[in-house]
């Protein structure tokens, strides 16, 4: 009988311990805090839950306004902000667009995974039209093209994906010395990037990056390559980007502040639409 009671006590204590462990590993989001307030839970209960749980709180101005409108007190909001800034209590879902990421461009694949769009480098620069320019006494224009090796990008898309741009101005900042891509060290918005469509030539992809004659010269990606896109800021340093009506072909995002100009090499975030 004594052994049976001992076994029951052990099972009971184990169950309580398991419940506490599960509770301690709860991950709270903004929506959970709002739901608790709408159910009439008091500040003491909500704060206790915040203190005993991990979180993926978003504390942008708009998010705080939303929680305030839902009836959360300033005391609770202060606890939310405190918890959001405590790295030891953060639970980061790498497929959550709102979570901090290393600066760069990412896209949502068919499985809903957030995948980093790795860049390629322009491998060759070439001038076209010099003969015509010469026989026209410098009136006709020659053009400079920058080439990327291969006829197709490694990343294959449908054209309907959402792209996410992460800059160093995210709530969780990154050490600038660890940022590997020049554009994201300088830029603060997708508006500083160009979405360009490659021309196909001789087993490679190319962009016209300059033109000129003996009297005028233009540098930068030619507007015939540019394609429109829209974007919205969803959190500090985080933007959601959508390409507008792109069809099958080879494309890239390139930082306009350091676009290839025929005289240097530059990283381009290339992808193929099929």
The answer to whether the CB of 245 falls within 8 A of the CB of 259 is: no
Cα dihedral 20, 21, 22, 25 in deg (nearest 10): 120
pLDDT score at 214: 62
What are the residue boundaries of the structural domains of the chain, listed by start?
2-89, 104-273
Residue 58: pLDDT band (50, 70, 90) is: confident
Instruction: Tell me the whole-structure pTM to 2 decimals.
Output: 0.63
CA-to-CA dists, residue 96 to 117, 158, 168, 176, angstroms: 16, 21, 17, 23
- The rounded Cα 106 to chain-centroid distance in angstroms is 5
| 66-79 as b/e: b if 16+ CB within 10 A | ebeeeebeeebeeb
Q: 102-151 pLDDT, tens per residue?
A: 889 999 988 889 999 998 888 777 776 666 666 766 676 767 788 888 99
Residues in the chain: 274
- The 10s digit of each residue's pLDDT in 171-221 is 655 555 544 455 676 788 999 999 999 999 888 998 887 766 666 766 677
Read off the tokens for 126. Answer: 């070439």
């Amino acid at each position: 009988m004594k052994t049976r009671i001992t076994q029951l006590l052990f099972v009971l204590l184990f169950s309580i311990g398991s419940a506490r462990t599960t509770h301690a590993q709860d991950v709270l989001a903004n929506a959970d805090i709002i739901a608790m307030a709408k159910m009439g839970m008091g500040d003491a209960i909500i704060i206790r839950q915040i203190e005993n749980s991990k979180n993926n709180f978003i504390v942008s101005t708009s998010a705080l306004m939303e929680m305030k409108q839902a009836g959360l007190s300033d005391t609770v909001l202060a606890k939310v902000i405190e918890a959001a800034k405590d790295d030891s209590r953060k639970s980061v879902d790498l497929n959550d667009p709102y979570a901090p990421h290393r600066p760069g461009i990412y896209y949502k694949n068919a499985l809903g995974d957030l995948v980093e769009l790795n860049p390629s480098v322009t491998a060759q620069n070439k001038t076209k039209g010099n003969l015509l320019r010469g026989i026209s006494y410098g009136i006709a224009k020659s053009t400079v093209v920058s080439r990327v090796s291969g006829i197709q990008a490694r990343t294959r898309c449908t054209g309907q994906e959402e792209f996410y741009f992460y800059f160093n101005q995210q709530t969780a900042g990154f050490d600038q010395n660890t940022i590997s891509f020049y554009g994201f060290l300088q830029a603060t918005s997708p508006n500083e990037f160009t979405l360009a469509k490659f021309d196909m030539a001789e087993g490679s992809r190319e962009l016209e990056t300059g033109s000129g004659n003996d009297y005028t010269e233009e540098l930068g990606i030619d507007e015939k390559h540019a394609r429109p896109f829209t974007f919205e800021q969803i959190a500090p340093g985080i933007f959601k980007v959508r390409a507008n009506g792109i069809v099958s072909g080879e494309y890239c995002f390139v930082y306009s502040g350091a676009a290839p100009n025929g005289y240097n090499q530059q990283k381009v975030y290339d992808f193929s639409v099929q």
